[in-house]
Structures are given as structure tokens and as C-alpha cells.
Amino acid sequence: MALFGDSKKSKAKKDKGEKVLKARARRVVLKDGMEHEVIRAPWFSEKALLATEKGVYAFQIPADATKAQVAGAIEQIFKVQPRKVRIVRLPAKRKSMRTRRGEGVRTARHKAYVYLAKGDTIQFA
């Protein structure tokens, strides 16, 4: 007889895990024209272009956009189902301006990495 059996806990963990997966699968259906507010532009950098070969696409997004909004906008604009969405916050940086002013500040930015299933692609042009 075990004093600290885990039979009840393991069932509870499985139930919670299933609920989390269902919650992540939700997508937000945006109003007409709002999908272009969430997905502002594709992010073209060397790292982002190398990732497109693996089915990962980067986009510029507003600071208050959520993963569900990004997933819904990708579905509406490009007609593909994203497998996963990651959001990255890039902090502001001080930069030399090479003028009398001296230094300036580059604004903080946000980008989203959208992972697609094998075989799905996004055409930008």
C-alpha cells in the first residue's frame, strides 16, 4: 500500500492537458479589413528568409496582437492553417545618428513567427 499514490493525480493531469490543447486550437475570426491591421507586413531578414525553407514565416505585428488573432489573420489572408504561432518582442535600441544630434532611439517592434504544416506555403508576390 502506497501512502502517496498518484493514480488520481495522473487522471487530473490528463484532463487538464486536453483542455489546454483545445484552448490553444481556438482561432479568432476578425472583422472585415482587420486582418491587415494584425498582419502589417512580412518580415524580410536573412534569418527569416532561411526559416521559410522550413515552413516558418515571420510577420510584423502590432504590440497588442495575440496569437489567436495572428492565426485568424493568416487563415483569412493566405488561406492556410498555421500549426503554431510564436510572438517576439524586440526592445528599443540606441543608435548613432551621425549628425549634430548624436544619438537616437530605434522604436520597439513586435514580430510573429508562423509555423505551417508540411506542404503549406505562403506566396508574398
At which residue does the C-alpha cell 489572408 appear? 77
CB 49 within 8 A of CB 80: no
- Domain with residue 69: its CATH number is 3.30.70.330
Q: Which helix (H) or strand (E) holds 23?
A: helix 7-24
The answer to whether residue 9 is domain-embedded is no
The answer to whether residue 116 is domain-embedded is yes
3-state secondary structure of 16: helix
pLDDT at 82: 95
The answer to whether residue 17 is domain-embedded is no
The answer to whether residue 63 is domain-embedded is yes
The answer to whether residue 92 is domain-embedded is yes
Count of C-beta atoms within a 10 Å radius of residue 16? 10
pLDDT at 80: 94
pLDDT at 1: 56
The answer to whether residue 96 is domain-embedded is yes
* Domain span at 69: 37-125
CB within 8 A of 18, min separation 6: which ones? none
Q: What's the total number of domains in the chain?
A: 1
The answer to whether residue 71 is domain-embedded is yes
CB 70 within 8 A of CB 115: no
pLDDT at 34: 83
Each of the 125 residues of the chain gets a pLDDT tens digit; together they read 566 666 665 555 555 444 443 445 567 778 788 888 999 999 999 999 999 999 999 999 999 999 999 999 999 999 999 999 999 999 999 999 888 778 999 999 999 999 999 999 999 87
The answer to whether residue 8 is domain-embedded is no
3-state secondary structure of 7: helix
pLDDT at 20: 41
